[in-house]
Structure 1
Amino acid sequence: MTGSPNHELAVRMAELARTVSTPRRVEDVLSDVTSAVMELIPSTDAAGILLLGKAENFQTVAGTSDLPRQLDELQVRTRQGPCLDAAVDELIVRADDFRTEERWPLYSAGAVERGVLSGLSFKLYTSSQSAGALNLFAREPHAFDGQAETIGTVLAAHAAAAILASRQSEQLQSALSTRDQIGQAKGIIMERYGLDDVAAFDMLRRLSQDSNTKLVEVAQRVIDTRGT
């Protein structure tokens, strides 16, 4: 049936797959995901993605309004809420009515003050240093059902893939940059002191150990001495 929610989801997923297959900024992909949430789960009044780092650092991205940022800030401040639970522990966290919700009393009161009565959150990923969740909010109670959970799970998977791919790319670029710095430093040492490749690297390693400094930082210092 062409007008069914499943058909709409399949069409939207195909569109997202095409955008993922071409190089794009991760912020743009995540904005597509939250826009798709608003399209495919019409009971949603606002959606956003919470990214958690160390030392209570957090960031709200791809918000469809400022409401997700306000609610994320409230959760981080009170250290409780469905988005935090989803990011750190649970796969899916649903709250049908914050007026009677007992799991997060401080957060629930704040959500009701802001006119939000329902919430639905999906884990994106959790690592040793960071975590993330896709979060949906509604001004009506009991706004989300099993179908909303199914659609949200699929969209959350796309968001997670975009974030993790972006971070892997950043790590690769960092690794390539580090390798290039060490290579340049070795070349300078080889030319300056008449050493071979192995001896030049051993000098860098010993300088790193003696000064208790990361190898890449020592390499950059060697590069900085070029021409002096």
Structure 2
Amino acid sequence: MGGPAGEAVVTVDWQRYAEQMARLARDLVAQESVQATLDAVSAAAVELVEGCDAAGILTVSKGRAVTLAVCGDIVEESDRLQGEFGEGPCFDAARRVDGERLFRIADMTRPQPSWPRYSRAARDLGIGSMTGVLLYTDEEDFGALNLYSRRPGAFGEDIETAGWLLASHAAVALATARTVDQLENALETRHAIGEAMGILMERHQMSEDEAFGVLRRISQNHNLKLRDVAGRVRAASPERG
């Protein structure tokens, strides 16, 4: 099938892609942290999607572009410029400006009226075409998975579908990784609080309820997380000095 500016659009070998998706699902779930999962998603996009030269995950926090993961040397600069200009397809996708969960720019070498400053910068970076998919699960957005090619017309409708499948696998793996991280953090927090309570109980002859009450009051009065208060108590203990 012909693409813009005479470029041939890459199609997908769906049987091979399905096999790759199955392997990817196992690999993503096996990652040890949210960051490792994000990095694996970006690397998988470059490896699995034909025509993709670089990939990254961008989120927008309080109006600021934040690069979460990178695979390829043009991604960070692209994200930085979109944040600096406050415009760009990845920036809009992460903010869900138009309500769409997918974008595809067939030819970034041509002027893009929606992003005039970024499109000029993208040409200088050597970006030929782009596509991106919002990563989300349970109505919570993680950011946009953005794919870059150095040639125009690299991403056709087949690639959009491939991107959706990759993003779906990634979102499930991210949700799993976040759950594991949250459980581990909860266990670490419980351990820290328990140790701090033990120190107070021994040092000041307090009951368990009294020791917890002291930690909670300090937390509320000083607007600190209970875990941080516990950490300060532990750090101030002579036994830990």
Name the CA distance, whole Å, in 1 between partners of 2:80 and 2:170. Answer: 21
Report the 3-state secondary structure (helix = DSSP H, G, I; strand = E; otherwise coil) of the residue aligned with 1:62.
strand
Name the CA distance, whole Å, in 2 between partners of 1:140 and 1:55. Answer: 30
**TM-score normalised according to structure 2 size:** 0.78
Q: Could you tell me how far 1:124 is from its partner in structure 2? A: 1.2
1:10 aligned partner, one-letter code: A
CA contact (8 A) 1:53 1:129 kept: no
Map of 1:169 onto structure 2? 180
Distance 1:28 1:12, change over 3 A: farther
C-alpha RMSD of matched pairs (Å) = 3.0
- Give CA deviations for 1:62-114 in whole Å, capped at 9, x if unaligned: 31x20122211211111111111221203101112231421111111111222
Map of 1:76 onto structure 2? 83
CA contact (8 A) 1:204 1:215 kept: yes
Map of 1:154 onto structure 2? 165
Name the CA distance, whole Å, in 2 between partners of 1:101 and 1:57. Answer: 20
Q: Which runs of 5+ in 2 are unaligned?
A: 1-11
2:30 aligned partner, one-letter code: T
Name the CA distance, whole Å, in 1 between partners of 2:48 and 2:231. Answer: 50
Moved more, 140-149 or 202-211: 202-211
Distance 1:217 1:208, change over 3 A: same
Map of 2:58 onto structure 1? 50
Map of 2:22 onto structure 1? 14
Q: Which runs of 5+ in 1 are unaligned?
A: none
Name the CA distance, whole Å, in 1 between partners of 2:88 and 2:101. Answer: 14
CA contact (8 A) 2:59 2:144 kept: yes
Moved more, 217-226 or 106-115: 217-226
> Kindly, what percent of the aligned residue pairs are identical?
40
Q: Could you tell me how far 1:33 is from its partner in structure 2? A: 3.6
Name the CA distance, whole Å, in 1 between partners of 2:187 and 2:115. Answer: 45
**TM-score normalised according to structure 1 size:** 0.82
Of the three residues 98, 102, 111, the one matched with 2:113 is 102
Distance 1:109 1:33, change over 3 A: same
Name the CA distance, whole Å, in 2 between partners of 1:15 and 1:129. Answer: 25
- Give CA deviations for 1:157-182 in whole Å, capped at 9, x if unaligned: 23333334333333333222221121
CA contact (8 A) 1:87 1:126 kept: no
Distance 1:177 1:57, change over 3 A: farther
Name the CA distance, whole Å, in 2 between partners of 1:17 and 1:131. Answer: 18
Q: Could you tell me how far 1:193 is from its partner in structure 2? A: 3.1
Moved more, 217-226 or 172-181: 217-226
Moved more, 213-222 or 111-120: 213-222
Name the CA distance, whole Å, in 1 between partners of 2:135 and 2:178. Answer: 14
Moved more, 198-207 or 67-76: 198-207
Distance 1:82 1:207, change over 3 A: closer
Alignment of 1:1-228 (within 5 A): 5-24=13-32, 26=34, 29-54=37-62, 56=64, 58-59=66-67, 61-63=69-71, 65-89=72-96, 90-98=100-108, 99-125=110-136, 131-227=142-238
2:151 aligned partner, one-letter code: E
Q: Could you tell me how far 1:189 is from its partner in structure 2? A: 2.2
Q: Could you tell me how far 1:11 is from its partner in structure 2? A: 0.7
CA contact (8 A) 1:52 1:131 kept: no
